[in-house]
Structure 1
Amino acid sequence: MHHENLHLKQGTSRLRNAHPEAGLSLVEVMVTLSIVAVATSLIVLTLPRAQPQKQAVGLLREALERTSERALITGQPSGMVFEQGRYSPAIWQDETWRLIGSQNLPAGMSILIDGEPLRAADATEAPVPAVIFDPLGHTPPVTIDLVRNDFVTRLTLGADGKVAVDMPS
């Protein structure tokens, strides 16, 4: 029996000594992980950044829906004024449109209304909404494109005041 145990121990040590360089050293593992981390960072940095686009679309959609609801609740026309780099809800009051707040768009983002770029506003003109919500719930259909770095997201405003979003994947 003692002879068999000795034989087992010798066989085990023979296996360990057969390939002394089997496996990876800690340095090799760390270098490999570093290379993978750098490659992943480079790939992530080259991906298009849709996050600001998604956030801007969400905010505009909410603003359009709130403005539509405001017209229905208050019984007075409401609208959305679009200017270069921002948009503002507006209400019809005292025979003129009055802006009630403003939301800036992310840098480099532009707006197209029904496929047309915004026209430059004259400083002497009162703002006129590109989208008007009727207090009776009738809204002319409008498409609003948010464009940034050739990435276009379309918001379609239906006659019922509902907003549909078409965001390419």
Structure 2
Amino acid sequence: MIDIFSPAKHSDAQAPLRDPEAGLSLVEIMVTLSIIGVATTLILLTIPARPLHKQEADRLQEALEQTAGRSLVTGQPMGLIIEGQSYTPAIWQNGNWRPLQSYQLPSGIRFEIDGKAPMAPEEGETALPAVIFDPLGHTAPVSIELVRNNSRTSLTLLADGRVSTEVR
């Protein structure tokens, strides 16, 4: 009976020689990795890009959520000023809305707030926020649509500050 669990006994004092053909060479591994890299690149290039209005809707949703969160953290009312082709988070300080960094929409995309185009401020007046976030987490529900050609992406701000998105 052969004991397969005991160490092998060799009559020679030398260790057994390895087969030089066993295993993979560095060149073979590098060629394989190169083929995988090229295949991955080709696959990624065939994935269609997301529509521009959907990308902008995601960016606007993030701005709404960040503004709501900042209002909760700082304990100060925050708002989102929407005018023409841009939107700007604003903070309520010393009885005035102080705008923060503005973001410009790409050409061809426009806003609608509750089904209407945003109102431009009168000459000499500051723009007021279309959306106001209370530091307690409450906000008035509002629907903001990004319109491009026949595509509409609707962002509905709920009373608890959550944002739901619908593409039409």
Same fold (TM over 0.5): yes
Residue 106 of structure 1, CA deviation: 1.3
Cα deviation, residue 122, structure 1: 2.2
Task: State the Cα distance separating 1:50 from its structure 2 match.
Answer: 5.6
In structure 2, the partner of 1:125 is 125
- CA distance in 2 between partners of 1:119 and 1:76 (Å): 25
Q: Which runs of 5+ in 2 are unaligned?
A: 1-48
The corresponding residue for 1:36 is: none
- Structure 2 residue 116 is matched with structure 1 residue 116: yes
Q: How far apart, in 2, do the equivalents of 1:139 and 1:105 lie?
A: 24
Structure 1 portions without partners, runs of 5+: 1-48
- TM-score, normalised with respect to structure 2: 0.69
Q: CA deviation at 1:126?
A: 1.5
CA RMSD of aligned residues (A): 1.5
Partner of 2:137: 137
Match in the other structure for 1:93: 93
Question: What is the letter of the counterpart of residue 154 of structure 1?
Answer: S
State how far apart, in whole Å, the 2-side matches of 1:138 and 1:70 are. Answer: 13
Aligned length: 121
In the alignment, does 2:83 pair up with 1:51?
no
Supply the distance in 2 between the matched residues of 1:147 and 1:79 (Cα, whole angstroms): 22
Deviation at 1:121, TM superposition (A): 2.1
- Structure 1 stretches of 4+ with a deviation exceeding 3 A read none
Deviation (angstroms), 1:117: 0.9
Query: 8 Å contact 2:120–2:127 — kept in the other structure?
Result: no
C-alpha distance after superposition, 1:39-73 (max 9, x if no partner): xxxxxxxxxx8621111001100000000001100
TM-score (norm 1): 0.68
Q: Deviations over 1:95-115 (max 9, x none)?
A: 000100011111011101111
Task: Answer yes or no: is the 8 Å Cα contact 2:78–2:89 preserved in 1.
Answer: yes
Paired-residue identity, %: 49
Secondary structure at the counterpart of residue 106 of structure 2: coil
1:123: Cα distance to partner? 3.6
Partner of 1:83: 83
